[in-house]
Amino acid sequence: MSIKSEQVERSIKNKAMGAYYLAHEFGHTYYRIPDQYEHGGACLMNSAYEDMAVLVGYKKLIESDKACQQCEPWVTLKHEIEELKSIFKSSEADLSHVERMLTLIAESPTFILGRDYFLSLALNFPFRYYESIGDELGLFYCVALAKNNRMSHFLEWHVDKIKKIEKE
Ligand SMILES: [Zn+2]
Ligand SMILES: [Zn+2]
């Protein structure tokens, strides 16, 4: 094998590892997008059996320069939630931000993998907000929303507070 062909092969391997394999795993951990079997080869989250080899998947992926439209709801949701989380941290939050966060949670796609945990994290912020301003109605609203959406993580985290709110 010549040096030249070895270099070409390595650079393709590196791209395939970074642009395909690592980016795919990032899609799982950061955006919480599950493996997709019907989005086609142009989808980074494509996990169709015939495309499982990294180089095969990578070649199909770079044939298209557009992001997968069917994965868009996860990306939008994550970005909006992250934006709101930073607003809550900056203490500039007001009721309009709480409303936006709660609407986002209520309307989010139900097909999200790890939805319960992900949305529990998001609902934590409005819950803390209502707690800090002593708004009991707001707390009831958060708890009711969590129960309607069976967000068990959220309910587990705040089980003592919820018991206290419901007793009063
Ligand atoms: Zn995967
Ligand atoms: Zn996709």
Domain containing 79: what range? 72-167
Residues near ion ligand 1 (Cβ under 5 Å): 35
Provide mean pLDDT across the span 139-145.
92
Distance (angstroms) between ligand 2 centre and the Cα of 28 equals: 12
Overall pTM surpassing 0.75 (yes/no): no
pLDDT digits 0-9 by tens, 2-19: 344 455 578 888 888 887
Distance (angstroms) between ligand 2 centre and the Cα of 40 equals: 7
Q: Among residues 21, 38, 63, which one ends one of the domains? A: 63
Note whether 40 and 87 are same-domain residues: no
Question: Any idea which ligand is nearest the CA of 24?
Answer: 1
pLDDT category at 1 given cuts 50, 70, 90 is: very low
Note whether 58 and 77 are same-domain residues: no
Note whether 83 and 155 are same-domain residues: yes
pLDDT digits 0-9 by tens, 89-106: 887 888 899 889 888 887
**The residue to which tokens 């936006």 are assigned:** 100
> Given this model, what pLDDT does residue 121 score?
84
Note whether 28 and 97 are same-domain residues: no
Note whether 26 and 109 are same-domain residues: no
Provide mean pLDDT across the span 110-120.
70
Distance (angstroms) between ligand 2 centre and the Cα of 39 equals: 5
Question: Any idea which ligand is nearest the CA of 71?
Answer: 2
Note whether 13 and 56 are same-domain residues: yes
C-alpha angle with apex 67: 100 to 106, nearest 5 degrees? 20
Provide mean pLDDT across the span 25-45.
90
Note whether 41 and 95 are same-domain residues: no
Share of the chain above pLDDT 70, in %: 92
Note whether 57 and 78 are same-domain residues: no
pLDDT digits 0-9 by tens, 48-74: 887 777 788 888 888 988 999 999 988
Note whether 118 and 50 are same-domain residues: no
> Given this model, what pLDDT does residue 5 score?
47
Q: Structurally, how many domains does the chain consist of?
A: 2
> Given this model, what pLDDT does residue 3 score?
43
Note whether 59 and 107 are same-domain residues: no
